[in-house]
A and B are shown apart, each in its own frame.
Chain A
Amino acid sequence: MSILSLTSSQTVGPFFAPALLREDAIRNVLTQPETAGERIRVEGRVLGGDGLPVPDAMVEIWQANSYGRYNHSADQGTAQLDATFLGFGRSGTAEDGSYWFETIKPGRVPFYHEQFQAPHICVTVFSRGLLNHLVTRLYFEDEQTNTEDPILQCVPDERRSTLLARRETVEGTIVYRFDIVLQGAGETAFFNL
């Protein structure tokens, strides 16, 4: 059905930060004071095949609001919109490979027919040495609906834990820790998208 061939992908390279992480393009904080939902902090590290941190990666996230509605015209659902929540985040990584976001826990979004997905955040990773970006999902380890999530069920049992963010409470803040391992032991399950 397609009539034009796609433009290929190339690495983001080592020098994207002044453009993609400029002051008005970086988006570590997704929330505003009025945003509805449970405040969470997502943090983790991007690690390479040698176990070393990746200090020149960029992580983008995309998520539904706390009611389970995406800020997008293709979401024709009935869940409430939240005018104070865009749902997009973009973080660089520090020397120790770390990234972070302040956001809210997303609601469940529809799958097919009467089925719903477990709460999740779409995660995209770019870096030098990645000729194509990588896409995965963050799920919440303490979420009971994970067992019925249709996407998690596609992931082989032994790799499923790589998509589960670990809950911690740090000085009253709920932190979900999600390391992204590009290669090797504990390699994150990435999707062919």
Chain B
Amino acid sequence: MKNITIGEIVRGDREVFPPYLYEAYQSTRRRAPMLPLIEVPLTLSELTGPGPAISAITLEDADLTRNSGTVGEAIGQRIIVTGRVLDDRGFPVPNTLLEIWQANAAGRYLHKRDQWPGPLDPNFLGMGRCLTNEEGIYRFLTIRPGAYPWKNHPNAWRPAHIHFSVFGPSMLSRLVTQMYFPDDPLHALDPIMNAVPTEAARKRMIALYDHSVTEQEWALGYRWDIVIRGAYATPFESKEGER
């Protein structure tokens, strides 16, 4: 068995995934595992996963501007966020569930633990979900979130972001991440974003403004693709290969 030191704790690709312990993000200090992650062979348990079954029974709710249960519409700059979910071989991931959540236009979350004095919007819950279509395309209508102040360090502000949860085909493809907006001066100051080790990987978390997505007198368009681990070979394929 391969022995991994603490500094090397990674999920697969160390160019892509942040370390568990990242001192500048204070909450990691008491929650990051300190012992090596165990290397294990992939089995049917990891090559399957809940994504297909849960995606098949979940209802879409992809318009965050009008899903609060009130008759009103959320305040803020209306935006369309769309893109494709692809696997690392470039194949689209169809019919998979995406769940998102975000602060309102003022940077406030509808959550009892968020008590900073930004205004709440009674017409905005900040949550939604949709399924990718056959081409792997997803699309949300929402409002642009504000920056969010937190207590990690003095005068700490999180850059505007939307949280994404993605299932994909297997246990290996499960991903929770955040989408950022282009040209935000807070990127360089954010320990959560900067925990991602390389600039290339950080840039892939930033959506692009896309005027072809923007709709006249309606909403600005952003495009963001998500790449997850694909449906890997089943453990029985090597057996077939011996024939």
Secondary structure dominating the interface of B: loop
Given known pairs A18-B110, A19-B99, A88-B54, the reply for A6 and B47 (CB within 8 Å) is no
- Would you give the shortest CB distance from B131 to chain A, in whole angstroms? 14
Given known pairs A19-B99, A183-B32, the reply for A135 and B171 (CB within 8 Å) is yes
Residues of B within 8 A of A15 (CB): 101, 103, 109, 111, 113-114
Residues of A within 8 A of B231 (CB): 74
Whether a CB of chain A sits under 8 angstroms from the CB of B53 is: yes
Which residue of the partner chain B has the closest CB to A189?
A: B38
Whether a CB of chain A sits under 8 angstroms from the CB of B137 is: no
Given known pairs A8-B16, A8-B204, A151-B40, the reply for A182 and B11 (CB within 8 Å) is no
Whether a CB of chain A sits under 8 angstroms from the CB of B34 is: yes
Interface string of B9-44 (1 = CB under 8 A from A): 111110111111010010111111111011111011
Please, how many residues of chain A have a CB less than 8 angstroms from a CB on the other chain? 79
Which residues of chain B in 24-75 are interfacial with respect to chain A, using CB atoms and an 8 Å cutoff?
Answer: 25, 27-35, 37-41, 43-50, 52-54, 57-59
Secondary structure dominating the interface of A: loop
Residues of A within 8 A of B16 (CB): 5-8
Whether a CB of chain A sits under 8 angstroms from the CB of B200 is: yes
Given known pairs A18-B127, A62-B50, the reply for A183 and B33 (CB within 8 Å) is yes
Residues of A within 8 A of B37 (CB): 190-192
Which residues of chain A in 31-71 are interfacial with respect to chain B, using CB atoms and an 8 Å cutoff?
Answer: 48-50, 52, 54, 56, 60, 62, 64, 70-71
Q: Considering the chains assembled together, what is the distance between the CA atoms of A156 and B40 in angstroms? A: 12
- Would you give the shortest CB distance from B44 to chain A, in whole angstroms? 5
The reply to whether A14 and B163 form a contact with Cβ atoms under 8 Å apart is no
The reply to whether B50 and A20 form a contact with Cβ atoms under 8 Å apart is no
The total of interchain contacts (Cβ-Cβ below 8 angstroms) comes to 261
Please, how many residues of chain B have a CB less than 8 angstroms from a CB on the other chain? 92
Q: Considering the chains assembled together, what is the distance between the CA atoms of A52 and B28 in angstroms? A: 14
Which residues of chain A in 133-179 are interfacial with respect to chain B, using CB atoms and an 8 Å cutoff?
Answer: 133-135, 137, 150-151, 154-156, 159
Given known pairs A62-B50, A72-B52, A109-B44, the reply for A8 and B17 (CB within 8 Å) is yes
Q: Considering the chains assembled together, what is the distance between the CA atoms of A76 and B234 in angstroms? A: 9
Interface, chain A (partner B; CB < 8 A): 1-20, 22, 24-25, 48-50, 52, 54, 56, 60, 62, 64, 70-77, 86-88, 109-113, 117, 120, 122, 124, 126-135, 137, 150-151, 154-156, 159, 182-184, 187-193
The reply to whether B33 and A132 form a contact with Cβ atoms under 8 Å apart is no
Whether a CB of chain A sits under 8 angstroms from the CB of B243 is: no
Given known pairs A113-B239, A135-B171, the reply for A10 and B176 (CB within 8 Å) is yes
The reply to whether B228 and A6 form a contact with Cβ atoms under 8 Å apart is yes
Residues of B within 8 A of A12 (CB): 163, 165, 176
- Would you give the shortest CB distance from A183 to chain B, in whole angstroms? 6
Nearest first, the 8 A-B pairs at minimum CB distance are A129-B27, A88-B50, A19-B127, A19-B101, A72-B48, A129-B31, A192-B37, A2-B88
